[in-house]
Amino acid sequence: MKIAVAKGDGIGPEIMDAVIGIFNAAKVPMDYVYVDMGKWVFDKGFSNGMTPEAKQTIEEVGILFKGPMETPKGKGVKSVNVTARKTWNTYANDRKFQTLSGVDTVFSKAGIPIDLTIVRENIEDTYGGIEHMLTQDVALGRRFITRPGSEQVIRYAFEMAKKKGARRITCGHKANIMKLTDGLFLEVFKEVAKEYPELKSDDVIVDDLCMKLVSRPDLFDVIVLTNLQGDIVSDLCAGLVGGLGFAPSANIGDHISIFEAVHGTAPDIAGKNIANPTSLLLSGLSMLRHLGLMEQAVMIENALLYTLESGVHTGDFGDKNIPAVNTTQFAQSIISNFGKQPAHHPKPFLPNFYVTPTNFKLEHNPMLQSDLREVHKIVGVDFFIESAEQPQKIADKCLLHATDKLKLVTITNRGTQVWPSGSVFTNLVNQYYCRFEADNENVVSQDQVIDLYRSLAKDFQICSLELLNMWADKKAYSLAQGQ
């Protein structure tokens, strides 16, 4: 079985060599094809951080095992980590967090075991990186949450929870504020949950979720979240079990999957052979299980757990009264403990199963589209304009351009209504949106919107616009604060 391996930057080559050494000692039946990715590839002029040959290899074998990678700062290039996940549509970021003996935390000392999984949507949300300066003072970032994308990751979370024998699956969200975006994610969660009646499903507002996680993490099992919230909550959970050095990461897609260390490149200790390879090893074990190599995964993980219980540690954790070992020695300790069982939470033996090789060819980009076909109509438009004038002056100008079909109904600044009512205590910036709606939700044509655009442009610098849509009888836009 071939997999692509990218060693990464900083400490990446050292910890990758340690993990591959453990795999070879365990006779993991893999061939490793090394590919060029990372900061040094950026520095050679490849703007996406990988060579064309690396991209082709990864798409041929379908599995990428990668060390930590650095994105050059201040050069206008995108993160190679995010680019890889999005390019190959690895839509589910699966990160498991568990109490490890020998890794002291507040919860391990209190006797509270942690065994939870965060499933983070990996493609959409603010990680689209679609940003614009509307004025010199106002930046806008687009946040995309889609029904098909949400269903992909949520269905994965339910299937994984079912296989895990989870007692609970929770949707973390902020739908109380972001009623359309997070609201859509939560709506899809509830729809999919109906297909899994054997699983207890619930939802928690994300700030409340964070408070509960740092007080009683043992109450949770599987948690699924949108991209940015999942990024933050997964790092929070890493802190509960000892830090990013003990946090594996699997990025699962339908055709290509990526397994990686999520910690940094630690350039200050690079080349010293003292880095902790545990995070990358745990990610590698997730990869082995994904590929059906259960016997090797169980043997290696039990050896790792036994090694940690024995007090063997690198310099970043463990009992300071016991001398730290280096990266190579840590890996050798794990190899010497093959076949041994930890006293706490040993992993049960599971037989290997055959995984069909990913020999696939795609002729076209897959199109994700729901089968919803409600009647659509345009009922208005929001014009985002640049102006440093007071709200009433803006309204006076807008009213000159309003038509019988499109009437001015509200003006907002940073989402707060400032006309026809508002407060003089509301601080303003030089960007407003002016909402025009049709009477009685009548249908508006795009031609009418364009005509209004041309007319308004005589008085305003128009930064952007958004159509106000309705599907069936459901408004597909939010109201302003105070509207």
| Contact by Cβ (8 Å): 20, 5 | yes
Q: Is residue 240 part of a domain?
A: yes
User: What is the pLDDT, as a whole number, of residue 106?
Assistant: 92
Do residue 238 and residue 311 come from a single domain? Answer: no
- What burial class does residue 194 get, using C-beta atoms within 10 Å of its C-beta: 0-12 exposed, 13-18 middle, 19+ buried? exposed
Nearest to 339, CA basis, from 308, 309, 301? 301
170-to-118, 175, 198, 237, 323 alpha-carbon distances in Å: 10, 14, 14, 15, 41
Question: Domain limits at 47?
Answer: 1-89+268-278+306-357
DSSP state of 125: B
pLDDT > 70 fraction of the chain, expressed in percent and rounded: 98
Residues linked to residue 249 through DSSP beta bridges, in sequence order: 260
| Contact by Cβ (8 Å): 217, 234 | no
Nearest to 260, CA basis, from 7, 70, 72, 3? 7
- Residue 436 predicted with pLDDT over 70: yes
Nearest to 12, CA basis, from 356, 237, 332, 262? 262
Rounded to whole angstroms, the Cα distance separating 390 from 394 reads 7
Q: Is residue 260 part of a domain?
A: no
Average of pLDDT values for 144-155? 97
- Residue 473 predicted with pLDDT over 90: no
Q: Is residue 297 part of a domain?
A: no
Do residue 462 and residue 427 come from a single domain? Answer: yes
Do residue 315 and residue 455 come from a single domain? Answer: no
The residue among 326, 357, 388 that closes a domain is 357
- Residue 356 predicted with pLDDT over 70: no
Q: Is residue 429 part of a domain?
A: yes
Q: How many domains does the chain have?
A: 3
- Alpha helices (H) along 250-378: 278-290, 294-309, 327-336
User: What is the pLDDT, as a whole number, of residue 74?
Assistant: 61
Long-range contacts made by residues 407-416, C-beta under 8 angstroms, separation at least 24?
A: 407/436, 407/437, 407/438, 407/439, 408/434, 408/435, 408/436, 409/380, 409/435, 409/436, 409/437, 410/434, 410/435, 410/480, 410/483, 411/435, 412/480, 412/481, 412/483, 415/480, 415/481, 416/480, 416/481, 416/482
Give pLDDT tens digits for 59-101: 999 999 999 998 777 666 778 888 899 889 999 999 999 999 8
Q: Is residue 448 part of a domain?
A: yes
Do residue 82 and residue 107 come from a single domain? Answer: no
Question: Which amino acid, one-letter code, is at 411?
Answer: I
Q: Is residue 291 part of a domain?
A: no
User: What is the pLDDT, as a whole number, of residue 232?
Assistant: 97
Is cis: bond before 420, omega within 30 of 0? Answer: yes
Do residue 118 and residue 240 come from a single domain? Answer: yes
For residue 97, what is the enclosing H or E element? Answer: strand 92-98
Do residue 202 and residue 231 come from a single domain? Answer: yes
How far is residue 69 CA from its own chain's centroid? 17
User: What is the pLDDT, as a whole number, of residue 360?
Assistant: 65
Residue 175, phi then psi, degrees to nearest 5: -70, -15
- Residue 300 predicted with pLDDT over 60: yes
Do residue 124 and residue 247 come from a single domain? Answer: yes
| Contact by Cβ (8 Å): 8, 321 | no
* Residues composing the chain: 483
Rounded to whole angstroms, the Cα distance separating 419 from 45 reads 51
Specify the higher pLDDT residue, 45 or 300. Answer: 300
Q: Is residue 294 part of a domain?
A: no
Q: Is 441 helix (H, G, I), strand (E, B) or coil?
A: helix
Do residue 110 and residue 244 come from a single domain? Answer: yes
| Contact by Cβ (8 Å): 273, 327 | yes
Rounded to whole angstroms, the Cα distance separating 191 from 4 reads 37
CATH number at residue 440: 3.30.70.1570
Give pLDDT tens digits for 366-398: 898 888 888 899 999 999 999 999 999 999 999
How far is residue 461 CA from its own chain's centroid? 36
For residue 61, what is the enclosing H or E element? Answer: helix 52-61
User: What is the pLDDT, as a whole number, of residue 358?
Assistant: 57
The alpha carbon dihedral of 199, 200, 206, 210 has a sign of negative
Do residue 180 and residue 53 come from a single domain? Answer: no
Average of pLDDT values for 103-114? 91
CATH number at residue 175: 3.40.718.10
Do residue 442 and residue 320 come from a single domain? Answer: no
Q: Is residue 367 part of a domain?
A: no
Do residue 351 and residue 403 come from a single domain? Answer: no
Give pLDDT tens digits for 179-192: 999 999 999 999 99
Do residue 155 and residue 36 come from a single domain? Answer: no
